[in-house]
Structure 1
Amino acid sequence: MSKTSTIQVEKVNAHIVNWLKTYADNAKVNGFVVGISGGVDSAVTSTLCAQTGLPTLCVEMPIHQAENQVSRGREHIEQLMKKFSNVSRAEANLTPIYETFKGEMPKTENNVKYNLSLANTRARLRMTTLYYFAGINGLLVAGTGNKVEDFGVGFYTKYGDGGVDLSPIADLMKSDVYALGQFLEIPESIQKAAPTDGLFGDNRSDEDQLGASYDELEWAMLEDEKGCATEQFSGRQKEVFDIYKRLNFVNKHKMDPIPVCLVPTSFKY
């Protein structure tokens, strides 16, 4: 179930950069702000934004962050600033804010729900921070979600990292993002690092949380788009397909438009 990207990286890169620049020009905004995590998605997104020539602000937002995630993010930002004069950086240490919030909230005996709620709180604090920087600088918040995360398994926080103005790489599979990252020469440390959302203050990977690798989930997403059913698979393939279908179902509330209760016209007039 390994997946090799088939995208034409040079053309895809030029297309996304042009799309970003056109969108920003039409929206009459100055440029972009990107949250930097030390992962491949934010590294590729920020590099795409930088290539527009428009101001691109890279923001670090540590909350009890693992040191290797912090160091990878800083390595990327430093490399990007050497290549592009339009790139700047900012850091907002959100650990004190997070701890204050945590101290004011009631605890629950359900540790799984408690820890997940706090993890999502981290993502929402970061979203609020990015929109603050966007507001004072006239920038758009660029999302860093890829296609598998955003439209396959819904692996993001609603109104957290899912709260963005535009999504440059959301039509790219994770393997495509890696291919683009290699083309853009993002730091080797990021290209080799196991993907992680960094929301739990440790080194647990996305695969640890999802139960499948991105290569496996890409395979399942493509099989699902073909209309395949779980009965067609066995062994690890069946296990992965079931994981994909379950996550796709339980996270529909993130991926579908917010439901609106439409009141009959006859009740209004």
Structure 2
Amino acid sequence: MIKKRTIQVEKVNAHIVNWLKTYAENAKVNGFVIGISGGIDSAVTSTLCAQTGLKVLCVEMSIHQAQSHVTRGREHIEQLKNRFPNVTSIEADLTSVFETFKKAVPDDSDTCKLNLSLANTRARLRMTTLYYFAGLHSLLVAGTGNKVEDFGVGFYTKYGDGGVDLSPIADLMKSEVYLLGSYLKIPESILKASPTDGLFGDDRTDEDQLGASYDELEWAMLENEAGKSANDFSGREKIVFDIYKRLNTINQHKMIAIPVCFIPKE
């Protein structure tokens, strides 16, 4: 499982920054708002946005967040504000909002479904918060999803972290996001941290949830795009390829346009 794409990091950086600035200017907005999680994707996305010179608002949205996530996020925000005068930040602690929501809805479902539904609720509360600030300051909500998450396995919450105005890194594999992160001098604490969505209030990683690492899923995505099937592999490769195909299939509802029931003219 070595197969990976290669990018010219400096050119990719310049291309995305130009794309972001052009899009924002055409939309006649002031800049961007980004939710900062303490992970690599939001760190890279916010740094790309900062390079446009337009207003960038970084938002911390803690909901029973692990202290390590909070610490990494704040380290990145402080570094970014020191590097770019157009960057500001704000904290919106949503823990009490989340707890109030839990009290207002029934919880008679089985534990597994309840926990997953509440995890997605966290993401949707954060999306609502980002759009609140976007409306106040005339900003675009910048998405932080990469290609493996957004178009490979659908590892995001529909109308949560998937609810954005534009996606600057959605054509980059996770490994490419890390390459860009190193180029952009993202804090080492973030570059070395295990990827996690932080939606369950524990220490489970993305790999724990997905059953495969991003490097493995990236390999599977490229092999699938090359027309390979599960019959072409054995051992761990077959397991990973099957995981990729299963997730890609069940999460198609996130990746395709919303179905519309068109009424025949006659």
Paired residues for 1:173-188 under 5 Å: 173-188=173-188
Q: CA deviation at 1:109?
A: 4.0
Q: 1:41-85, CA deviations, whole angstroms, 9 ceiling, x for partnerless residues? A: 000000000000000000000000000000000000000000000
The one-letter amino acid of 2:6's match is: T
Structure 2 residue runs of 5 or longer lacking an equivalent are none
**Residue 63 of structure 1 aligns with which residue?**
63
Q: CA deviation at 1:262?
A: 1.1
**Residue 223 of structure 1 aligns with which residue?**
223
Q: 1:128-162, CA deviations, whole angstroms, 9 ceiling, x for partnerless residues? A: 00000000000000000000000000000000000
How many residue pairs are counted as aligned between the two chains? Answer: 266
**Residue 106 of structure 1 aligns with which residue?**
106
State whether residues 3 and 175 of structure 1, in contact with CA within 8 Å, keep that contact through their aligned partners in structure 2: no
Q: 1:107-145, CA deviations, whole angstroms, 9 ceiling, x for partnerless residues? A: 124111000000000000000000000000000000000
Paired residues for 1:41-52 under 5 Å: 41-52=41-52
Q: CA deviation at 1:203?
A: 1.3
TM-score (ref. length: structure 2):
0.99
Q: CA deviation at 1:6?
A: 1.7
Please state whether the residue corresponding to 2:140 is helix, strand or coil. strand
Please state whether the residue corresponding to 2:162 is helix, strand or coil. coil
Structure 1 residue runs of 5 or longer lacking an equivalent are none
| Alpha-carbon distance in 1 for matches of 2:87, 2:81 | 5
| Alpha-carbon distance in 2 for matches of 1:2, 1:127 | 35
| Alpha-carbon distance in 1 for matches of 2:247, 2:5 | 23
Q: 1:212-254, CA deviations, whole angstroms, 9 ceiling, x for partnerless residues? A: 0000000000010011110110000000000000000000000
TM-score (ref. length: structure 1):
0.98
Where do 4+ consecutive residues of structure 1 move more than 6 Å?
Answer: none
Superposed CA RMSD in Å reads: 0.8
- Mark the CA change 1:70 to 1:145 in structure 2 (over 3 Å): closer, same or farther: same
| Alpha-carbon distance in 2 for matches of 1:199, 1:65 | 8
Identical amino acids, percent of aligned pairs: 76
| Alpha-carbon distance in 2 for matches of 1:36, 1:98 | 18
State whether residues 197 and 205 of structure 1, in contact with CA within 8 Å, keep that contact through their aligned partners in structure 2: yes
Paired residues for 1:32-43 under 5 Å: 32-43=32-43
**Residue 153 of structure 2 aligns with which residue?**
153
- Mark the CA change 1:4 to 1:191 in structure 2 (over 3 Å): closer, same or farther: farther
| Alpha-carbon distance in 2 for matches of 1:110, 1:250 | 21
